[in-house]
Structure 1
Amino acid sequence: MAMTELDRDFIMLSFALTECRRALDNLEEVDQLASVRVRPQPGVEVRENLRIFDRIRLGLQMAANVSRLFWPPRNSARGAHLRSLTGLPTTHGLSDRTLRNHIEHLDERLDQWTATSPRPFLSIEHVLHADYPDIGQKRDEVIGATAIVYDAKSQSVQLFGDMFHLPKLRGDIEDVLQKTSQAMSAIV
């Protein structure tokens, strides 16, 4: 088969493999970045925040792309066909639309989050580093006053009150990656 004559299944599965790999790579970097400490001078420590959320957002976006491919809101025939090729079940960790809806409709979530205005405002995104002291009720206040929180200790992301555990998400993505790889081997 010429490189310009690839069939639809091959293209869709290739896209899924690429998005899975990109999601996993970005989510893996979250843990690495959360452990970075820079001490520019004695008594001053700088921690990552922005780059952690860059990786979280990219990882979640790529995971949402995979979810849409196999469990689409429309074109259910495509999703069913791709799931049949890969052996993915109708119900899967990536089939839950809660996470992908937060990602796809971030503007609407911010509308809802700011509807009770004025509200306490700490930041839009905040990292709770694993070695931060447990501040009890203050911790809950920080979480409540922040739209998106990454908790390095539990390796979870809270988006507008919903908690997503990154190890589980990685496992779900790895499952799709493995089954998609097997399907690609069968059609090549």
Structure 2
Amino acid sequence: MTPAGDDISQDPWAQRVYLTLLARDARYALAALEALVDLARSAPVPPAAWICFEDLLSFTGKVSRMLWPVEKKGKGQTDEGVRWRRARGAYLRDALAVEDESPLAAREVRNGSEHFDERLDEWIVHLPRPTLEDLQDGAITEIPAPPMRLVDAQAETIAVDGATLDLKLMAEELHRILARIEALEPSVAALPNPELAATLASLPPVPVIPFDAPAQKPDNIEAWLDEQKRTDSPPPDRHPEPGETQE
């Protein structure tokens, strides 16, 4: 068995796995984005739009982490895995020409959604509680707005607690990355089902043995050939038994 090294550029199987999984998540992110923009044009915005909102952030988050992985070693992880993870992120960003200014690198909106409870805590704990005397004296201070999720179908933007994401730029970047992946790994384009493509790409690599490859165990081959010779050879001459006529 050959162990994985530190150079992903020399491991075609690993490249295929990462690129195909990345393409799957990019496709799902685009599907969620397009559905969100379409639903957000309704008034009022239906609940299904907010499901697409979260799906979009979830799948763009997966794509982002594939390109910019967390480099800190976690519980149960190995030094080899951490080194490979760093190499994987650098390889994918280079192969797909992803720049640091990519909208996929912006995590403010996603973090705002994932940690929405923490934003809510900060708003509640600092929200003034006016008394009756405050009302009578007109001493009520300005009440800050609560953290909110917003979608603007006309501008094609979404926002969480003040952080904004441009959906047009995100869609362009996802389409560009998908086109690049399909050029590097044509099998992604050949299979319209992204889940099937990812499953097939993840199958363990099997070495291809050419027909003219030398036998790994010559003794076994020779024994098999000897057996074939004995099976194919004509039976020995037999003398007729008494009373038997030989033709």
User: Shorter-normalised TM-score: what interval?
Assistant: 0.5 to 0.7
Distance 1:104 1:168 in 2: 22
Distance 1:115 1:171 in 2: 40
| CA-based RMSD | 2.8
Q: Where does residue 41 of structure 2 map in the other structure?
A: 35
Unaligned runs of 5+ in 2: 1-11, 72-84, 130-143, 189-200, 202-247
Distance 2:59 2:165 in 1: 15
- What letter is aligned with 1:79? G
Secondary structure of 1:73's aligned partner: coil
If the length of structure 2 is used for normalisation, what is the TM-score?
A: 0.53
1:1-26 Cα offsets, whole Å, 9 max, x none, are xxxxx922211111110111111111
1:93 and 1:32, CA in 2 relative to 1: closer, same or farther beyond 3 A?
closer
Question: Kindly, what percent of the aligned residue pairs are identical?
Answer: 26
- What letter is aligned with 2:55? L
Q: 1:102·1:159 contact (CA, 8 Å) conserved in 2?
A: yes
1:30-55 Cα offsets, whole Å, 9 max, x none, are 12212346xxxxxxxxx333111111
Residue 65 (structure 2) pairs with residue 63 (structure 1): no
Specify the structure having the higher radius of gyration (Cα).
2
Unaligned runs of 5+ in 1: 1-5, 38-46, 120-142
Distance 1:14 1:49 in 2: 33
Distance 1:164 1:7 in 2: 34
Secondary structure of 2:70's aligned partner: coil
Name whichever of 22-31 and 109-118 sits farther off.
109-118
2:51 to 47, 51, 54: 54
If the length of structure 1 is used for normalisation, what is the TM-score?
A: 0.68
Residue 80 (structure 2) pairs with residue 79 (structure 1): no
1:29 and 1:105, CA in 2 relative to 1: closer, same or farther beyond 3 A?
same
Residue 172 (structure 2) pairs with residue 168 (structure 1): no
**Where is the strand percentage greater, Structure 1 or Structure 2?**
1
